[in-house]
């Protein structure tokens, strides 16, 4: 029943213009901020951990704005998952760094897109798969009845979605061998034994090793990529950023620290658009208490 309701809401949102969905997101975000919601509590804890130097009014303002942007991200799924290609591509008002990405692709070693949960990360996959051959790691949604819709929506422009297991990892290597794009969400907490505790905003965070291992063995360059949500529903600005410190040339854990530093650099550009409601510090080192 819950899945049918979500699908119906997304369909309703899909017939609205993007500014209207963002207005709905603003209203919903204010409600999330005013009510004692779980996402508000988690976001508040994360912001206190990551921005301890912010004064209380500034942190409250960032919390409110982040909940508004989170609600916008949910509301805009209707257009993103249902609109036709031409209409969606018209929402990309600007790209930065795409020339460097195209130059890197021409070298024939493929390119790894590190896409943190920042801005409209769904738009990154749709835009890039519409322009370039791309393989993406895919984790099914928690509501399994939404899996077929999510697969259709994310793969309809040509993206090859692969599972987060060894078969999926092999598919990533094969795509890089063909000189293609692969996409990984680098700030997603991995399963135990697949990560290391590495500082993220100064807090030990269980960090995936997969991206670094693939970059090191394949020699594919890494671009940190996000789609900035423009105000008033105007569309998106895509950023493709080549790391100033190439993580291919560093050993763990230094490479993972550089990866997290690059993610922080992206977040600091638009901190209100990061997914602070995610329990990024859920796994703790031995003997350290649970933040949540």
Residue 263, SS3?
helix
pLDDT of residue 4: 83
Cα 165 from Cα 39, distance rounded (Å): 29
- What pLDDT score was predicted for residue 249? 86
Determine the Cα–Cα distance for residues 292 and 290; give it in Å rounded to an integer.
Answer: 6
Size of the chain, expressed as the number of residues it contains: 292
Number of H helices, E strands in the chain: 12, 9
Which pair of structure tokens corresponds to residue 239?
A: 């950023």
187: how many CB neighbours lie within 10 A of its CB?
Answer: 23
pLDDT in tens, 230-243: 999 999 999 999 98
Kindly provide the b/e burial profile for residues 14-29, where b requires at least 16 CB atoms within 10 angstroms of the residue's own CB: bebebeebbbbbeebb
Q: What's the pLDDT score for residue 191?
A: 86
Write out the two tokens for 119: 């801005």
d(CA 283, CA 289): 10
Residue 143, pLDDT score = 80
Going by C-beta distance under 8 Å and a sequence separation of 6 or more, which residues neighbour residue 29?
64, 67, 68, 69, 70, 71, 72
Structure confidence by residue, pLDDT tens digits, 277-287: 999 999 999 88
Beta bridge partners of 203: 200
Report CA-CA distances (Å) from 49 to 169, 202, 291.
32, 9, 9
Cα first-last separation, the chain:
30
Radius of gyration for the chain, computed over Cα atoms and rounded to the nearest angstrom: 19
Q: Please indicate whether residue 1 or residue 27 has the higher confidence score (pLDDT).
A: 27
Q: Are strands 111-114 and 181-184 parallel, antiparallel or unpaired?
A: parallel
pTM: 0.95
At 260 the pLDDT is 97
CB 279 within 8 A of CB 200: no
Q: For residues 70-94, give the mean pLDDT.
A: 97
User: Mean pLDDT, to the nearest integer, of 160-187?
Assistant: 95
pLDDT at position 189:
92
Q: Which residue has the higher pLDDT, 2 or 31?
A: 31
Cα–Cα dist 156/87, whole Å: 14
Burial 120-140 (b: 16+ CB within 10 A, else e): bbbbbbbbbbbebbbbbbbee
């Amino acid at each position: 029943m819950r899945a049918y309701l979500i699908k119906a809401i997304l369909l309703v949102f899909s017939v609205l213009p993007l500014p209207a969905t963002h207005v709905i997101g603003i209203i919903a975000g204010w409600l999330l901020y005013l009510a004692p919601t779980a996402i508000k509590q988690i976001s508040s804890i994360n912001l206190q951990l990551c921005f301890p130097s912010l004064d209380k009014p500034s942190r409250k303002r960032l919390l409110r704005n982040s909940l508004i942007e989170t609600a916008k991200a949910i509301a805009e799924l209707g257009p993103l998952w249902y609109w036709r290609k031409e209409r969606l591509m018209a929402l990309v008002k600007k790209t930065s760094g795409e020339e460097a990405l195209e130059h890197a692709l021409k070298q024939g070693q493929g390119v790894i897109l590190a896409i943190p949960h920042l801005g409209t990360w769904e738009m990154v996959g749709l835009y890039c798969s519409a322009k370039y051959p791309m393989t993406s790691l895919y984790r099914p949604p928690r509501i399994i009845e939404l899996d077929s819709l999510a697969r259709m929506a994310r793969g309809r422009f040509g993206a090859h979605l692969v599972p987060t297991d060894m078969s999926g990892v092999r598919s990533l290597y094969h795509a890089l061998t063909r000189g293609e794009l692969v996409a990984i969400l680098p700030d997603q907490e991995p399963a135990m034994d697949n990560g290391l505790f590495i500082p993220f905003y100064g807090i030990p965070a269980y960090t995936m090793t997969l991206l670094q291992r693939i970059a090191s063995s394949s020699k594919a360059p890494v671009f940190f990529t996000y789609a900035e949500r423009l105000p008033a529903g105007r569309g998106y600005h895509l950023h493709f950023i080549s790391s100033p410190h190439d993580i291919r040339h560093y050993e763990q854990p230094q490479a993972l620290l550089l990866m997290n530093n690059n993610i922080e650099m992206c977040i600091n550009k638009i901190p209100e658009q990061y997914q602070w409601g995610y329990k990024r510090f859920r796994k703790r080192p031995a003997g350290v208490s649970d933040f949540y």
